[in-house]
Amino acid sequence: MTQARAPKRPRKNSAKGSAQADGLPQGLTSQDLVEYYSKMVMVRTMDERIWMLNRQGKVPISASAQGHEAAQLGSLLAARKDGDCFLFPYYRDLGIKMAAGLTPTEVMKSFMGKAGEPYSNARQFPLQGADLKHNIIQISNVVAAGLTQAVGYALGCRMMGEKTVVLVFFGDGASSQGETHEAMNFAGVHKVPVVFVCENNGYAISVPQSSQMAIADVASRAEGYGFPGVVVDGMDLVSVYEATREAIIHARAEGPVLLEMKVERFMPHTTDDDDRRYRPAEEVENLRQRDPVITMTAYMIEQGFLTQEQVEEIDAEAKRAINEATDAADAAALPDPSTLLDNLFVD
């Protein structure tokens, strides 16, 4: 496992020593990439639609994943290929939660607060609670609160004699929390099979990284906990897949890894934020040059995994699915007020 490194220029579509004959990293097929490219397009289309529906008054709140998609889907792909991972995402992880197996209608119902929504039956913010069918828990949006829980979950799995690796996701801002330190320290001491995944977008609402920490890479903190820290270009799905795959293998065999994915936040913090107060418009425009969806589209065509025509079909299919989901969720029932007091406890 490589120690913390900070590539000044992101590595592009890196295929290192583990490359197969087709140039793809180990365990990865072109079908996987087509599948995850399609998921990425679906997530982006959903994300954009949700923002629009917010402006129309139909969705109360959303934290956009735009700019984080390659990071989220690349790590999800590695977790799914591994086959024995449990995920503790955070509020910006639409890509993970949706692509983990929810239908667009389920996602849309969640954003509209409709009955039967899979995470909390619309008691919580969108896609927050638990989706146990897809091995996901995110209890709250108190930043960093999931880290110690993820460590406990991984410890619990180990006590049950299981080989599960837990991936827990958080932002650069969340890395400042005391609980982040406590979680990493315990995981280091007890060699808990957990991968700490920091989606570093350089901002915590309006606070830039330079006011958040005095270091360039969150990953460099790993040394202080006695485990490896790795920096990866989070705008590139294949690099993320590879780094996450290695991290999972390491976590299972030797203990925790801190994986920092450098990403960009294209949108304001949430639908309630106005980033013009603290972020120059050109900054975002420049970032859009590195849009992970555009980058991956070019890559898929370049590599011959998809034709231009197929790309357009994928796009059209996403729009169709999201249209249908919007209509279905719009028509879905709201929770019955008589359920207000239900399920405070289990038997």
Ligand X SMILES: Cc1ncc(C[n+]2csc(CCOP(=O)(O)OP(=O)(O)O)c2C)c(N)n1
Q: String of b and e for 39-72 (b: at least 16 CB within 10 Å)?
A: bbbbbbbbbebbbebbeeebbeebbbbbbbbbbb
Q: Which helix or strand (DSSP H or E) is residue 199 part of?
A: strand 194-200
> Taking CB under 6 A as the rule, does residue 173 contact ligand X?
yes
How does strand 203-204 pair with strand 207-208? antiparallel
Q: Pattern 82-111, binding to ligand X, x per CB under 6 A?
A: ----------x-------------------
Could you say which DSSP state residue 140 is in? -
**Smaller CB distance to other proteins: residue 235 or 258?**
258
Which of these segments, 199-207, 213-221, 234-242, 275-283, binds ligand X (CB under 6 A)? 199-207
Q: Which of 1, 34, 61, 139 binds other proteins (CB under 8 A)?
A: 139
- Cα 290 from Cα 230, distance rounded (Å): 21
Query: For other proteins, which stretch binds (CB under 8 A), given 27-35, 122-130, 238-246, 309-317?
Result: 122-130
Q: Is 264 a binder of Mg ion (CB under 5 A)?
A: no
30 binds, among other proteins, ligand X, Mg ion, none (CB under 5 to 8 A by kind): none
Q: What is the closest distance, in whole angstroms, from the C-beta atom of residue 174 to other proteins in the complex?
A: 13
Q: Is 171 in the site for Mg ion (CB under 5 A)?
A: yes
- Could you say whether residue 11 binds other proteins (CB under 8 A)? no
Scanning 66-74, 129-137, 214-222, 301-309 for contacts with other proteins by CB under 8 A, the matching segment is 129-137
Nearer to Mg ion, 129 or 171 (CB): 171
Of the listed pieces 43-51, 89-97, 119-127, 214-222, which binds other proteins according to CB under 8 A?
A: 119-127
Options 2-10, 53-61, 138-146, 312-320: segment touching ligand X (CB under 6 A): 138-146
Q: How far apart are CA 152 and CA 175, in angstroms?
A: 18
Torsion angle, alpha carbons of 211, 217, 220, 221, to 10: 40
Which H, E and C letters describe 43-55, residue by residue?
HHHHHHHHHHHHH
Q: Which stretch binds other proteins (CB under 8 A): 135-143, 203-211, 295-303, 304-312?
A: 135-143
Q: Does 268 bind Mg ion (CB under 5 A)?
A: no
Q: How far is the CB of 200 from ligand X (least distance, A)?
A: 7
Neighbour count for residue 242 (Cβ, 10 Å) = 26
Ramachandran region of residue 117, left (φ > 0), alpha (ψ -120 to 50) or beta? beta
Which of 128, 201, 239, 326 lies at the binding interface for ligand X (CB under 6 A)?
201
> Alpha-carbon distance 269 to 321, whole Å?
26
Q: How far is the CB of 202 from Mg ion (least distance, A)?
A: 7
Distance CA 340, CA 268 (A): 33
- Is 142 a binding residue for ligand X by CB under 6 A? The answer is yes
What's the chain's length in residues?
A: 347
Name residues whose C-beta falls within 8 Å of residue 177's C-beta, 6 or more positions apart in sequence. Answer: 143, 144, 147
By CB under 8 A, residue 135 contacts other proteins: no
Taking the C-alpha atoms of residue 65 and residue 239, their distance in angstroms, rounded to an integer, is 18
Contacting positions for other proteins (CB under 8 A):
119-121, 123-124, 128-130, 132, 137, 139-140, 142, 145, 147-157, 159-160, 178-179, 182-183, 185-186, 189-190, 342-347
Contacting positions for ligand X (CB under 6 A):
92, 141-143, 171-174, 199, 201, 203-205, 265, 269
